[in-house]
A and B are shown apart, each in its own frame.
Chain A
Amino acid sequence: GQQLNQSPQSMFIQEGEDVSMNCTSSSIFNTWLWYKQDPGEGPVLLIALYKAGELTSNGRLTAQFGITRKDSFLNISASIPSDVGIYFCAGLLFGNEKLTFGTGTRLTIIP
């Protein structure tokens, strides 16, 4: 089946640094989503992207829908301690009603 690979698998950064992560697929998707999961909680939607090439921001977060429709990118600027967690991309193809989730990127902030 479809698989979404996220890179990097984990990141260790200092507070204030910018973060970049990406998600790639072997298949095209019509919708890309980015979720964040805090420890002991369920994933929470951060950004939704609906069009190839689309660039969308949510505060310090910016995500892009890749032009090939096979990838997406998430950037976090000026990281803060509450950014710690696991970030998941997810893709949806029209006519297929289930989200496919990526493998996750774990973000840790070093004091």
Chain B
Amino acid sequence: DTAVSQTPKYLVTQMGNDKSIKCEQNLGHDTMYWYKQDSKKFLKIMFSYNNKELIINETVPNRFSPKSPDKAHLNLHINSLELGDSAVYFCASTTDRGNTEAFFGQGTRLTVV
């Protein structure tokens, strides 16, 4: 049973398109995150939700919109994709907002052409 699962694993799309990445965790955790890993492998947090409430919103273009229908799911929708959006996007979860031990999904490799 995969603890944090993301779909799709790979996504290739053209500039200007709109796409979504989905994430689900079956750990019973309250807090979920989206991270972006660039080509140099640098990991940076984008968003965090705690019990469906947005608690961290880093400096991310407003073309990126997270949505949490319930505490087990956190989806990421990206409008008007640009070449610079190409990266690996990781979903993660922790038991609660104060906990440090994050469990990561396998990542979604997004390639914008």
Contact = CB atoms under 8 A, between A and B. Distances in A.
A111 interface: no
B101 A45 contact: yes
A33 B101 contact: yes
Interface in A90-110: 90, 92, 97-99, 101, 103-104, 106
Interface in A1-47: 31, 33, 37, 40-45
A31 B48 contact: no
B105 interface: yes
Nearest to A44: B104
Interface residues of A, number: 21
A97 B55 contact: yes
A40 B43 CA distance: 14
A53 B55 CA distance: 31
A37 B103 CA distance: 12
Interface of A: 31, 33, 37, 40-45, 48, 86, 88, 90, 92, 97-99, 101, 103-104, 106
